[in-house]
A = this chain, B = another copy of it.
């Protein structure tokens, strides 16, 4: 590669390669950024495995968090992504902050785990419903439909891409709050 192609700095750009080859700034706190994205992002991209073809399937979802930070979704049994997680509950959710300019210049978090259905008569069902509808009041319009139900992502790991030279692989314990400690 010609040396002239290498700029001295890449303002506002964060190609994925740089985290591996450059040292992030000392004030980079990936856990804090990850927790922030987890708690404030209202919509995300869900990745599931298509039950018919095995292809990874990307779809749009509204998302909230349970008390410990675990992502919550409200989906219809008639939709593709729900049919997928009923067969294989492995999934991930991309939570991206938005803003001006290149989307890749803004932090985003991929939360990886396994979905479990929150049964309507489960002890935590009322809390899950309250938390989700508090963040998404318009969802009350269909939350009561018989084919809709809540699912919680049991997080196993996460990947933060926080910007130029700022990426980190995180453990579940880095982003999920251990409520048993309190």
Contact = CB atoms under 8 A, between A and B. Distances in A.
A34 interface: no
Interface stretch (A25-33, A87-95, A122-130, A173-181): A87-95
Nearest to A111: B58
This protein's copies in its complex: 2
Contact of A60 (B60, B104, B141): B104
Contacts of A159: 57, 59, 80
Contacts of A75: 16
A148 B17 contact: yes
A65 interface: no
Q: How would you classify the secondary structure of chain A's contact residues: helix, strand, loop or mixed?
A: mixed
Interface string A30-61: 00000000000011111111100111111111
Interface residues of A, number: 67
10 contacts: A5-B144, A10-B141, A16-B82, A17-B76, A17-B78, A17-B148, A47-B56, A55-B112, A55-B113, A56-B90
Interface of A: 1-2, 5-7, 10, 12-13, 15-17, 20-21, 42-50, 53-62, 75-82, 90-94, 96, 98, 102-104, 108, 110, 112-113, 136, 138-139, 141-142, 144-148, 156, 159, 161
